[in-house]
Chain A
Amino acid sequence: MMVRAGRVPQASLGAGASRRSLLLLVVPLTFLALFFFYPLLTILRLGLSAVGESQPLALSSVLNPLGFTLWQASLSTLLTFAVGLPGAYLFARFEFPGKRLLRALTTLPFVLPTVVVAVAFNALLGPRGWLNLGLMALSGASVPPIQFINTLWAILAAHVFYNTAVVLRLVGNAWAHLDPRLVHAARVLGASPWRAWREVTLPLLRPSIVAALVLVFLFDFSSFGVVLMLGGPRFATLEVAIYTQALHLLNLPLAALLSLIQIACTLTLTTLYARLASRLSTPSAPRAAEEASRRPVGPRQRLAAVLLVGLLLVLLVAPLAALAARSIARLEPNRGQQTSVSAGLTLSYYRELFVNRREALFYVPPIAAVRNSLGYAAATVVIALALGLPAASALARTSRFGRPVDALLMLPLGTSAVTLGLGFVVALDTPPLDLRASPLLVPLAHSLVALPFVVRTLQPALASIPERLRMAAATLGASPWRVWREVDLPIVARAVSVAAAFAFTISMGEFGATSLVARPEYPTVPIAIFRFLSQPGALNYGQALAMATLLMGLTLAGILIIERLRLPGVGEF
């Protein structure tokens, strides 16, 4: 079907484009049907079929977690944007030394399994964290002055820590490619900087802002480990309630009911988003990022840049640094003195990682865990891009199937990982789909989580390409393939590398679904960390921190490499 956009009448262009979009959507939708809807519906039907047998449930056991889930997700999203938007501005408009490294560092929180984030926050803000130790040494107090763990603040701080990367990446990327001449024109015409931002920049950024808003909200909405470990037992989101009911109380009917409510909320949200998004997108000629960003000029800009870098360092990098510092520090309490702790430096936790001291069958050599993690991550990048590119292209061009498909693609993000994991066990049990014990299940599950990010990153970039550029190329005789290669690809290449970085980091850090579907002979780094933390002893704790530090280093290297990759012959936009 060779439709040359420039030569056909408008009506048949629409039909042709629709048909082509439908073709592009076949593979991603089949994937969702097989690995998301089929297992999900199977487990929900199984759970709900037994509702009648279980005891009648109190309305409060549903309403309380639902109310708290919405409340904390709204607050977390608000705070994440309060940090993320200025940060996105910083990365889009300013050049400063170490920018690339800082950008990679701010993505790192995304990879950390919640077990490790809980340890990192403890190492920084816990009763014996660096901050409390310092304050106690300064003031001579015997009681830690900061009570942080098991408060709502701990949940909110961890959510900001996790999700600011989403805003920085999605909004920052769109911002970097805005044509700065538009703002310049507005300023020349007499608009104040604030008015230029409100009336030129903001409307153009709105698609990516709304996309980031929805992704962050969904992440907070289905948050589980953070709430459980940092919030403590007084706080329960829907996801925590599902986990408790399904895996500890073995009350599948209630778990299924809660999952259903959770999915209904998610679907409402993603449908609203899809309606909104289809009206927001404004094509504008994107520019190369280098055109718009420059070193801060003047004391005010310099101060702003320094403050923003400082804010990001404190909020996003300090917990990581505290964790890394703890992995080489050996803390010994002075005998019986709860308050004072003396520290020494040691590399023994790292050395110990490489020793199978107890001839254990399930000893995990760090190299093997790293290899497994990298293998799964590479497979996830390939699968997520292979599914995400056609899906995003289709969504960028048409609004006819766009809305419902857009809403469906985001559904996995706001769906209980516990429910889906159990769904895999029940549904994928007959050949040719007997994948329950297949190593492929891990990248498949990771791709489900990564796909919405990949699509959300690619789609605005693709949608921003003015159709007239493609038409002009076609008029000049370029084939559709050549149009794609020489118009679309250079513009989206940057977005592709951001999407790949997202898929890579999501896979490196994912723990919840992995622990339910992974094969024990291919443990990932997060699983190895968890194994250490589940036994007492200073060595286990130290090795868990050492392994987590290795994970951070590895992911940092991965992100930096992916960002430097250039497609041959394609200049960056």
Chain B
Amino acid sequence: MQRNKAFFIGLAWLSFVLGSCMPAVPGPGSTPAPRTLNIMTHDSFDASTSLIEAFEQSHNVRLNILKSGDSGAALNKAILSKDVPLADVFYGVDNAFLSRALGSGIFDAYDAPALATIPSAFQLDPQHRALPVDYGDVCLNYDKAYFASHNLSLPLSLDDLTQPEYRGLLVVEDPATSSPGLAFLLATVAHFGDPGFLDFWRALRANGVAVVDGWETAYYTNFSAASGHGPQPMVVSYASSPPAEVVFADPPISEPPTGTLTGADMCFRQIEFVGILHGTPNRGLAEAFVDFMLSTPFQEDMPLKMFVFPVNPQAGLPEVFSRFAEIPAQPATLTPEEIALHRDAWIQAWHQAVLE
């Protein structure tokens, strides 16, 4: 994978050098001033500087990345501004909001060549208006030390969580204000069905589940294995959180203090999509940028920048991911249509069952 990256950078460098070999005389014939391509995305977007610069040089373009709040806020802004679009490309809509994005008509279709290699399980829009870029599993993380010192066996299924030995040990996020919270709710809907999931949540409530507003609070205030050293040893987080604990450790550690519970239907798979915004005057460049996001170098860069997994099967994983990220064999899924149709009602029913 390093070779691929080097090759890509080399190619970009070559094209830059060749480009600068052109006569440096101003006037007709010289390199035109770079155009600007606007990318609208959520706050979690990040990439390696060298990759972005290589793309900018090889396409003589300046990438203007507009971070527009969390994923809900960013999508809302894109939909509200669709008559006078703020950007050429939008990245970051996930399967929970995909129907909403497609229904509002903000995207134009693009049959990217790379789609041929991407597994069809990720391609939720057959018309290719929204193209899959990455995925991540929302799973329960657990505090390894706590389970070891209390001689507690790990819960192997959602049902186990309602057992008395796990009383008061789990913290979850409110699905109305948190994207992982919503994803975990969707996992329970996928597993127990509607209205069976509500019985599960009532049992979980009786078993002392803690509920907080969002991931930051759940992880840093309530979770016992994170820096806040809170009271609960299980938290709704991501399968990529244990590798992140290693990457951002202080002092350095060789093993993450947390693990992921990957029992059947215990995780919900979030897939993130990119699309070309309807009405862009830079269609060609936008296509090139989408191709770039699906290309191996970018796909291999994503895990350590955004802590997500590449959809391109040719992209290899960094070592810290292949060693510490446990990918669930059977993640729960729901179609975007089902989610769009019932999401609000599920959240409301959840609120009544768990909070009122």
A residues at B contact (CB < 8 Å): 43, 46, 115, 118-119, 122, 126-128, 144, 149-150, 228-229, 232-234, 240, 243-244, 246-252, 330-331, 333, 335-338, 341, 346, 348-349, 352, 358-362, 422, 425-426, 429-430, 436-437, 515-516, 519-520, 530-531, 533-542
- In the bound complex, do residue B250 and residue A359 qualify as a contact, i.e. CB atoms below 8 Å apart? no
Q: Can you list 12 pairs linking A and B with CB atoms under 8 Å apart? A: A122-B220, A248-B177, A250-B79, A250-B100, A333-B145, A338-B229, A360-B49, A361-B49, A362-B45, A436-B86, A534-B43, A534-B216
CB distance from A32 to the nearest CB of B (A): 22
- In the bound complex, do residue A534 and residue B44 qualify as a contact, i.e. CB atoms below 8 Å apart? yes
Find A541's partner among B67, B220, B305 (CB 8 Å cutoff).
B220
- In the bound complex, do residue B227 and residue A361 qualify as a contact, i.e. CB atoms below 8 Å apart? no
- In the bound complex, do residue B231 and residue A127 qualify as a contact, i.e. CB atoms below 8 Å apart? yes
Instruction: Give Cα A247–Cα B84 distance, bound, in whole angstroms.
Output: 20
Find B230's partner among A46, A128, A249, A436 (CB 8 Å cutoff).
A128
- In the bound complex, do residue B224 and residue A149 qualify as a contact, i.e. CB atoms below 8 Å apart? no
Instruction: Give Cα A247–Cα B79 distance, bound, in whole angstroms.
Output: 12
CB contacts (< 8 Å) of B227 on chain A: these are 331, 537-538, 541-542
B residues at A contact (CB < 8 Å): 43-50, 52, 64-70, 72-73, 75-77, 79-81, 84, 86, 97, 100, 145-146, 148-150, 174, 176-177, 182, 211-217, 219-222, 224, 226-231, 233, 237, 241, 244-245, 247-251, 304-305, 307, 343-344, 347, 351, 355
CB contacts (< 8 Å) of B86 on chain A: these are 425, 436-437
Instruction: Give Cα A540–Cα B220 distance, bound, in whole angstroms.
Output: 10
A227 (CB) vs chain B CBs: closest residue = B213
Instruction: Give Cα A333–Cα B244 distance, bound, in whole angstroms.
Output: 19
- In the bound complex, do residue B75 and residue A250 qualify as a contact, i.e. CB atoms below 8 Å apart? yes
- In the bound complex, do residue A361 and residue B81 qualify as a contact, i.e. CB atoms below 8 Å apart? no
Find B245's partner among A126, A248, A250, A536 (CB 8 Å cutoff).
A536
B73 (CB) vs chain A CBs: closest residue = A247
Instruction: Give Cα A429–Cα B80 distance, bound, in whole angstroms.
Output: 11
Known: A122-B221, A362-B67. 16 other contacts (CB 8 A): A228-B177, A233-B355, A247-B76, A249-B176, A250-B79, A331-B227, A337-B149, A338-B224, A341-B229, A359-B50, A429-B84, A515-B69, A534-B215, A536-B245, A539-B249, A539-B250
CB distance from B260 to the nearest CB of A (A): 12
CB distance from B207 to the nearest CB of A (A): 17
Residue among B80, B81, B97, B211 facing the most chain A CB atoms (10 A cut-off): B80
CB contacts (< 8 Å) of A437 on chain B: these are 64, 66, 86
CB contacts (< 8 Å) of A336 on chain B: these are 145-146, 148-150
- In the bound complex, do residue B231 and residue A228 qualify as a contact, i.e. CB atoms below 8 Å apart? no
Q: Take A337-B149, A360-B48 as given contacts and tell me if A541 and B226 are in contact as well, using a CB distance cutoff of 8 Å.
A: yes
CB contacts (< 8 Å) of A232 on chain B: these are 211-213
- In the bound complex, do residue A537 and residue B80 qualify as a contact, i.e. CB atoms below 8 Å apart? no
